[in-house]
Amino acid sequence: MVYRIAIVDDKSQNRISLSEKINYSGEIEIVFMARNGKDFLDQLKAMPQNKHPQLVLMDIDMPEMNGIEAVRNCHNLYDDIKYIMLTVFDDDDKLFDAIQAGADGYLLKEERVDTILNAIKEVIEKQGAPMSPSIARKALNLLSGTKKEEANVQTTLSDREMEILKGVVKGLDYKKIADELFISPHTVRTHISNIYEKLHVSSKVQAVKMALKNKWV
Amino acid sequence: MVYRIAIVDDKSQNRISLSEKINYSGEIEIVFMARNGKDFLDQLKAMPQNKHPQLVLMDIDMPEMNGIEAVRNCHNLYDDIKYIMLTVFDDDDKLFDAIQAGADGYLLKEERVDTILNAIKEVIEKQGAPMSPSIARKALNLLSGTKKEEANVQTTLSDREMEILKGVVKGLDYKKIADELFISPHTVRTHISNIYEKLHVSSKVQAVKMALKNKWV
DNA sequence: AATAAAATACTGCATATGTGGTATTATTTG
DNA sequence: CAAATAATACCACATATGCAGTATTTTATT
């Protein structure tokens, strides 16, 4: 299997060295190279769709049209093309934008060649999303940042009851919840009864709906 | 530099093979091993803090106390310890929980040994957050809120099954759903069984969660 | 017309769940 | 300190639910 790749970078030096490095393995065919997002779009449109690259190694900071814009524009147009963003810095604002735009991976340029090759395979064959660890760290921070404020319920449901409710939402049965919290299933049922009363519901489904709607989970 | 590591896994076979593999390099010192979260906590508390591991390879699914609970408990207690979660499946609910709990990395058990070794170095030396690509994909999906693959599940549910599912989400029992659709409760149950199979779930709560998440309601 | 897919209906069984109780032991709070 | 709240544990019963079957009728689709 030969992977059909395009490279987009404004520095010709980068294009050449990157293409040489990944070409070396013989598993990669460089379909074409572009110097910025606009150039990339133009070349893509000018070529028959069956010759399109499967994956694009996309630099982010480029004149005329940056890599994120390019991915955003292309992503809906041709949904069979994958994108790995390449960047020098681990800039979290751009990470988020790139993900929104439709990027499938996000690597630092300093990564070893075999890491990049593996990343290409991961994306094309396994639908994975390879990220450099330092970038993944940003992603995790963003993720854990997008969190909840469970204040308004705290007044009604006790801490323990919230824990129980979370178990219910996870789809666990009484036994499983009990095991997770090191208490008896009987206790779990008592809690759940109390929760139902406080929430004015009378089944798991209703409680779960309420929990999800109010983002207590 | 020798890295001081602990291994937590409920299967002794896993503990042994993992420890042997990563010990082989000579760069790793296995400080101790534990068979579940509780065991890990106990051993950690019983040892002087200057002998603590720098990083813990933590299984997720374990009896008594799972890996996520363990990390959550420890993370605030001893903030100098890092955690890499190891799991067989790429379950996105758990990924989110693990991140919230304070995990620094999240790898599939099937990863190659040198990948795991690199991950350990990344976490300890560069504050990175190594993730297996398939797991990073989940993280990105969580971040962007766009679930591409799950959209087409809808097409697999027939019209009637969707009506039934809506009834379930409303919190109705079989009898009520049957009355609403002028069919027998038996038929409702058959439909629900089929729905579960198609959605790969096995309870109302799970089905409702999926329906809400994908906005089929 | 033949076939596949969907909708319909039923049975039996083991387990899960909701309801309505009782009761003891912290912990908080006025 | 007294009272309220939370957490814990248990019992018993009726009903709901999940699972594994079987089977007929409608409705596309080819």
Residues B196 and B103 in one domain: no
Report which secondary-structure segment, H or E, holds B188. Answer: helix B185-199
Residues A121 and A24 in one domain: yes
Looking at residue A94, what is its pLDDT? Answer: 79
The integer distance in angstroms from the CA atom of A154 to the C1' atom of D4 is 18
**CB of A176 lies under 7 Å from some atom of strand C:** no
Looking at residue A112, what is its pLDDT? Answer: 85
Looking at residue A150, what is its pLDDT? Answer: 36
Residues A158 and A135 in one domain: no
Q: What is the mean pLDDT of residues A26-33?
A: 90
For residue B71, the tally of other CB atoms under 10 A from its CB is: 27
- pLDDT tens for A71-118 read 988 886 787 899 999 888 666 667 778 887 888 888 888 888 888 998
- Residue of B10, B42, B100, B131 to mutate when probing chain A, most A C-beta within 10 A: B131
Q: What is the mean pLDDT of residues A115-143?
A: 81
Lowest-confidence region among A153-167, B35-49, B97-111, B161-175: A153-167
Looking at residue A100, what is its pLDDT? Answer: 78
User: What whole-number distance in Å separates Cα of residue A30 and Cα of residue A22?
Assistant: 9
A68 or B156: which leads in pLDDT: A68
Looking at residue B169, what is its pLDDT? Answer: 93
Report which secondary-structure segment, H or E, holds B5. Answer: strand B3-8
B89 or A40: which leads in pLDDT: A40
Cβ neighbours for A46, distance < 8 A, ≥ 6 positions apart: none
Please list the alpha-helical segments (H only) found in chain A: 12-23, 37-45, 67-77, 92-101, 113-126, 133-145, 151-154, 159-170, 174-181, 185-199, 204-213
- Give the three-state DSSP class for B64: coil
Residues with CB under 7 A from strand D: A 158-161, 181, 183-184, 186-187, 189-191, 203; B 173-175, 189-190, 192-193, 196, 202-204
**Percent over 90 (pLDDT), chain B:** 32
CA distances from A75 to A71, A72, A149, B32 (A): 6, 5, 34, 48
Cβ neighbours for B210, distance < 8 A, ≥ 6 positions apart: B150, B153, B199, B201
CATH number at residue A28: 3.40.50.2300
Residues A127 and A162 in one domain: no
Categorize the per-residue pLDDT at B132 as very low, low, confident or very high, splitting at 50, 70 and 90: confident
- pLDDT tens for B136-164 read 777 777 766 644 444 445 557 888 999 99
Q: Chain A partners of B93 at a C-beta cutoff of 8 Å?
A: 170
Domain-ending residue, one of B94, B124, B144: B144
Name the residue range of residue A98's domain: 3-145
Categorize the per-residue pLDDT at B91 as very low, low, confident or very high, splitting at 50, 70 and 90: low
Looking at residue B35, what is its pLDDT? Answer: 93
Contact flag B93-A170 (C-beta cutoff 8 Å): yes
CATH number at residue B206: 1.10.10.10
User: What whole-number distance in Å separates Cα of residue A205 and Cα of residue B174?
Assistant: 13
Q: What strands lie across the sheet with B28-34, from one edge to the other?
A: B28-34, B3-8, B55-59, B82-87, B105-108
User: What whole-number distance in Å separates Cα of residue B101 and Cα of residue B74?
Assistant: 9
Supply angle C-alpha A192, A198, A201, rounded to 5. Answer: 70
Residues B159 and B172 in one domain: yes
Contact flag B208-A203 (C-beta cutoff 8 Å): no
Give A50's DSSP letter: G
Residue A132 has pLDDT above 90, yes or no: no
Check if A16 contacts B (Cβ < 8 Å). Answer: no
Residues A101 and A174 in one domain: no
Domain-ending residue, one of B144, B165, B180: B144
**Percent over 70 (pLDDT), chain A:** 90
User: Of chain B residues 169-208, which have a CB less than 8 A from chain A?
Assistant: 169, 171, 201, 203-206, 208
Q: How far is B111 from chain A (nearest CA, A)?
A: 12
**Percent over 90 (pLDDT), chain A:** 34
Contact flag B136-A147 (C-beta cutoff 8 Å): no
- pLDDT tens for A136-172 read 777 777 766 543 333 344 447 888 999 999 999 989 9
B73 or A55: which leads in pLDDT: A55
| B86 in Cβ contact with B56 (< 8 Å) | no
Looking at residue B76, what is its pLDDT? Answer: 64
For residue B192, the tally of other CB atoms under 10 A from its CB is: 19
Check if B212 contacts A (Cβ < 8 Å). Answer: yes
- Residue of A209, A212, A215, A217 to mutate when probing chain B, most B C-beta within 10 A: A209
What is the number of structural domains in chain B? 2
The residue in chain B having the minimum alpha-carbon distance to the alpha carbon of residue A137 is: B129
User: What whole-number distance in Å separates Cα of residue A107 and Cα of residue A125?
Assistant: 18
φ, ψ for residue A2 (rounded to 5)?
Answer: -105, 130
Residues B106 and B133 in one domain: yes
Residues A57 and A132 in one domain: yes
Residue B165 has pLDDT above 90, yes or no: yes
Residues A11 and A114 in one domain: yes
Q: Chain B partners of A82 at a C-beta cutoff of 8 Å?
A: none
Residues A68 and A13 in one domain: yes
**Rounded mean pLDDT of chain B?**
84
Q: Chain A partners of B201 at a C-beta cutoff of 8 Å?
A: 171
Domain-ending residue, one of B144, B159, B189: B144
The residue in chain A having the minimum alpha-carbon distance to the alpha carbon of residue B217 is: A209
Residue B134 has pLDDT above 90, yes or no: no
* Sign of the alpha-carbon torsion through B49, B54, B55, B56: negative
The string of DSSP letters for B78-109 reads -TT-EEEEEESS--HHHHHHHHHHT-SEEEET
Residue B88 has pLDDT above 70, yes or no: yes
Looking at residue B97, what is its pLDDT? Answer: 79
Per-residue b or e along A90-119, where b marks 16 or more CB atoms closer than 10 Å to that residue's CB: beeebbbbbbbbbbbbbbbbebeeebbbbb
What long-range pairs does A16-20 form, CB within 8 A, spacing at least 24?
A: A18/A57
Residues B32 and B92 in one domain: yes
A105-108 vs B3-8, strand pairing mode = unpaired
Residue B201 has pLDDT above 70, yes or no: yes
Residues B111 and B161 in one domain: no
